[in-house]
Amino acid sequence: MKNKLRLSCLLLGAVMLFSLAACGKKGGDTTDPKESGGDSEFSTELKSPKTMTTSLWELVYDEADGWVYKEDNFKNTDTYSKITLTIPKEGSEEENLISAKVEVSLDEPYNFRDYLTSFGFDEYKYAQEQAYELTEVGGVDCLKSEESSWGSPCLRYFNRVEGAGATVMVELIGDYENARVDKLLSGLTIQLEDVGHEDGPWYWEGEPFTAEPASGKVGSFTINSQWIPFQESLVTKETFQHSAVAVGDQVYMLVAGAFKQFDFDGKTLTLAQDIPLDEEYEDLSVDNSGNIWLANFMAPMIRWKDGAQTGAYDGPDQAVMHPSGTWGISWFASSECERLTLSGGTMTSEPMEFEEVEVVGHIIIDEDYIYVCGSDAGTGEHHVFLYDTDGNFQMALCDEEGGGLGSISFITQTDNGFMALDANMREVVFWSKDGTYIGALEDRDLFGTGYPWLCGGAKLEDGSVLVVLTETREDKSADEVIAFRLSGF
């Protein structure tokens, strides 16, 4: 009797297991989560729940879904909490099916405001017009951004919680339409306390940069500095890529890749026009005929005059032209460069090597010299290497002790030698005609700035130099492109 009862129980159990398996295939999910992909029937039931509690958020997720993380990808302090969870691709230790980052930080608003513009949102429309739809994630209403990150689909939810002084970022890379992502986000609770924090002013609310005339002594010279305001403040998110050339009473600038023409009356820079381009450009030079040359890696070198494009040439990487407009130099990084020759509307090139240089950072050409700003092939220190127009080495400009400079962004001849902008050291540096170091003046002495980047300069007709910098406003409402006129050398 006991054997019959035992047999009956076993048969009943088998039937029940078969029935449950059949039901699982139709409604629930009993498959390996790695095999289920983005199946809309994926189970939301927690099978192996794990709870992570930090100072700023709590996350309940299901380890059975395949989520893992490395200890290096988890940080938690009183002001910053982050985790990056991944579901690895089956059979791969390097690639992930999904990567999910949750990051909350108590910070100033500047990173968030950079996120806005980086991900395609307008700051004014966001703050003043509340023009964008929001999606609730973890209890916070977030902006939604979909784009590509290093070739993979990327979905971001982010926003600023001003009262808590917090920035929230949830970033999903890979197969973010997978059902396991929604299940993961449903287990997120962002825990922020409203402490009445108020963010600083936006760029349209802040105080633009101003400066008084200044001067400084270097060697036997008194260098004078005059602030040249833009008629309308030139706010930027880019620190480094700004440059200028002058043609008569016009100044042409590349501002973070955008091409702009300004009227210059000696006191103010007034925007005359924005000139549309098909590419973003970094290198800007001008010849004696008033032609403006623009170049960049993977873009055609183009020529402009009187507001119109007058030529385009495929081939050069980064490049600048000699003032004659008949030849120039193209470079990428190494000392193996190319000499460009323009004849009959055709541009040709031939190899040209600067053997004293290991890595080329920047090249400038004037009537007499090719200035190669880069690292020394022997010591690795940053110098300015001077070559004649045939490419013959003449001298290297160094610091006071004959050592390395910071990062030279502009150099020009003066009546008494050479003047350069050392962007990294925030100095204006001077040498005599034979290359002897004279001295340097710091940015705060000449410009009244705190920590600018000296982006570049433009030689003006009277021999003075228009210096272009970026500086953070005192109230931190924005970074600005600013300009000064230097004379006295």
What CATH number has the domain bearing residue 445? 2.130.10.10
Helix, strand or coil, per DSSP, at residue 386: strand
Residues 104 and 66 reside in one and the same domain: yes
Residue pair 102/61 in contact (Cβ under 8 Å)? The answer is no
Say which DSSP state 334 is in.
B
The residue count for the chain: 489
Final residue in a domain of this structure, among 158, 190, 222? 190
Examine residue 28 and state whether it is found in any structural domain, yes or no: no
Final residue in a domain of this structure, among 190, 223, 239? 190
41 falls in which pLDDT band (50, 70, 90)?
low
Helix, strand or coil, per DSSP, at residue 151: coil
Examine residue 209 and state whether it is found in any structural domain, yes or no: no
Task: Output the pLDDT for position 22.
Answer: 37
Residues 315 and 389 reside in one and the same domain: yes
Examine residue 265 and state whether it is found in any structural domain, yes or no: yes
Q: Shortest CA distance to 426 belongs to which of 477, 480, 364, 469?
A: 469
Residues 249 and 177 reside in one and the same domain: no
Final residue in a domain of this structure, among 175, 190, 205? 190
CA distances from 395 to 126, 392, 409 (A): 54, 10, 18
- State the sign of the Cα–Cα–Cα–Cα dihedral 201, 474, 208, 292: negative
Residues 142 and 253 reside in one and the same domain: no
Residue pLDDT, tens place only, 113-146: 999 999 999 999 999 999 999 999 999 999 999 9
Q: What is the mean pLDDT of the chain?
A: 92
Examine residue 204 and state whether it is found in any structural domain, yes or no: no
Residues 119 and 172 reside in one and the same domain: yes
Task: Output the pLDDT for position 94.
Answer: 84
Residues 128 and 258 reside in one and the same domain: no
Residue pair 185/168 in contact (Cβ under 8 Å)? The answer is no
Residues 406 and 466 reside in one and the same domain: yes
182's enclosing H/E stretch is helix 179-186
Residues 144 and 186 reside in one and the same domain: yes
CB atoms within 10 A of CB 185: 18
Residues 224 and 165 reside in one and the same domain: no
The CATH number of residue 75's host domain is 3.40.1000
Task: Output the pLDDT for position 305.
Answer: 95
Examine residue 124 and state whether it is found in any structural domain, yes or no: yes
State how many domains the chain has.
Answer: 2
Residues 179 and 294 reside in one and the same domain: no
Residue pLDDT, tens place only, 74-95: 999 999 999 999 999 988 878 9
Q: Is the pLDDT of residue 4 over 90?
A: no
Residues 168 and 260 reside in one and the same domain: no
Residue pLDDT, tens place only, 398-437: 999 999 999 999 999 999 999 999 999 999 999 999 999 9
What is this structure's pTM?
Answer: 0.86
Residue pLDDT, tens place only, 198-252: 999 999 999 999 999 999 999 999 999 999 999 999 999 999 999 999 999 999 9
Measure the CA–CA gap between 9 and 147, rounded to whole angstroms: 57
Residue pLDDT, tens place only, 436-489: 999 999 999 999 999 999 999 999 999 999 999 999 999 999 999 999 999 999
Residue pLDDT, tens place only, 166-180: 999 999 999 999 999
Examine residue 293 and state whether it is found in any structural domain, yes or no: yes
Task: Output the pLDDT for position 327.
Answer: 98
44 falls in which pLDDT band (50, 70, 90)?
confident
149 falls in which pLDDT band (50, 70, 90)?
confident
Per cent of the chain over pLDDT 70 is 91
Examine residue 389 and state whether it is found in any structural domain, yes or no: yes
Residue pair 397/418 in contact (Cβ under 8 Å)? The answer is yes
Measure the CA–CA gap between 401 and 237, rounded to whole angstroms: 36
Residues 159 and 218 reside in one and the same domain: no
Q: Which residues, including other chains, have CB under 8 Å from residue 410's CB and lie 6 or more apart?
A: 364, 420, 421, 454, 456, 457, 465, 467
Residue pLDDT, tens place only, 277-313: 999 999 999 999 999 999 999 999 999 998 899 999 9
Complete DSSP assignment for 289-311 = T--EEEEETTEEEEEEETTEEEE
Examine residue 231 and state whether it is found in any structural domain, yes or no: yes
Domain that holds residue 42: 33-190
Q: Is the pLDDT of residue 6 over 70?
A: no
